[in-house]
Amino acid sequence: MDEPRGQAQRVASEASRKMQESTRDAAKVVNKLADKGAQTTAALTEANQRVMNEFMGLSMETFQESARLLMQIQQSALDMMRESQAATLRAQMAWPEVFKDPVRWYQSLCQESMEGARKAFDAVNETSEAVTESVGRLQASTQQAGTKIEQALTSAASRMKDAA
């Protein structure tokens, strides 16, 4: 009777030991999976943060550039309005000359018109140059941000491969 009981105890002991081993093995697998999950989450979180920082920086640069461009365009418009008012005053001051010397008045009117057109074209040229410079600065900022975003995503992908 002792022998079957001893054998039953050995079998129970062996089963208990195997159960403990399989529990340890399962815990190791779960820990590995949790570690890989944490590494993957950390990589994705860092990449997300870097990408969002670049987008925010680019948004701020775009806003600043738009404000700078708008200010230049408004300044140009104000200058043109001042010049227009000054030309109107000069035309009103020259009005009495139409009766004294009509040819000279007509000549000064044509000259004033040509000068006004030249100034208007200069203002349009300055505005187009400002737009071109602004676009160039934004393009450079966008390329730089794109490069940084690409680096962030490449780094995240590399970290995720290492975790796998």
**pLDDT tens, 16-63?**
888 888 898 888 999 988 888 888 888 889 999 999 999 999 999 999
Question: Please, are residues 138 and 65 in contact by the beta-carbon 8 Å criterion?
Answer: yes
How much is the pLDDT for 67? Answer: 96
Cα–Cα dist 74/126, whole Å: 12
How much is the pLDDT for 95? Answer: 82
Chain segment 118-157, per-residue pLDDT in tens: 999 999 999 999 999 999 999 999 999 999 999 999 998 8
Entry pTM: 0.68
Chain segment 79-132, per-residue pLDDT in tens: 999 998 998 888 888 888 888 888 988 898 899 889 989 999 999 999 999 999
Cα–Cα dist 59/111, whole Å: 47
Q: How confident is the model at residue 1 (pLDDT cuts 50, 70, 90)?
A: low
Question: Please, are residues 156 and 47 in contact by the beta-carbon 8 Å criterion?
Answer: yes
Q: Tokens for 109, please give them.
A: 């009117």
Query: Which of 52, 57, 32, 46 has its CA nearest to residue 157?
Result: 46
How much is the pLDDT for 17? Answer: 85
Query: Which of 125, 130, 158 has its CA nearest to residue 46?
Result: 158
How much is the pLDDT for 2? Answer: 61
How much is the pLDDT for 58? Answer: 93
